[in-house]
Structure 1
Amino acid sequence: MDRAEAVGFINRGQGRGVTRRTRVAQPTASVFVKGPEELIEWFIAYTDAQGHQAYWKSIEDLRDLVEGEKRKSR
């Protein structure tokens, strides 16, 4: 153990006491979407073009667009 400590390793019992925040998991749901092939392919291409790594991010874009339009029309 002395040799390991000499090169910078520390015993876990001697840690600095760093605590990490645990993320609170948001409730999730799943949805299966079946639709016209052309539309589904467009949605996949849109998601890829936006750089989103999850389809829900594209759905979030749509929600922001729709809710933004609702606010403008009021």
Structure 2
Amino acid sequence: MNPETATYIGYSASLFIVLSFILKDVRKIRIVNMVGCICFVIYGIFSGMLWPVIIPNGMICFIQIYHLLADKKK
């Protein structure tokens, strides 16, 4: 991947994370935050396997999925 494209994905990830702090609905927060985390994982992979970026954001993504699925059961 082009390094410039990876940079844009990183900026997009930051934007989604910041946006998630603006929202009030918990479900929307989780979805927007999850999109940001996915973007950060992609950014970390295409920027040279940046494990300190990939691991926590991958874990947060799975936590968001867990809570989104758990909230549907209620």
TM-score by length of 1: 0.31
TM-score by length of 2: 0.31
- Structure number having the greater helix percentage: 2
Greater relative contact order (CA < 8 Å, ≥ 6 in sequence): 2
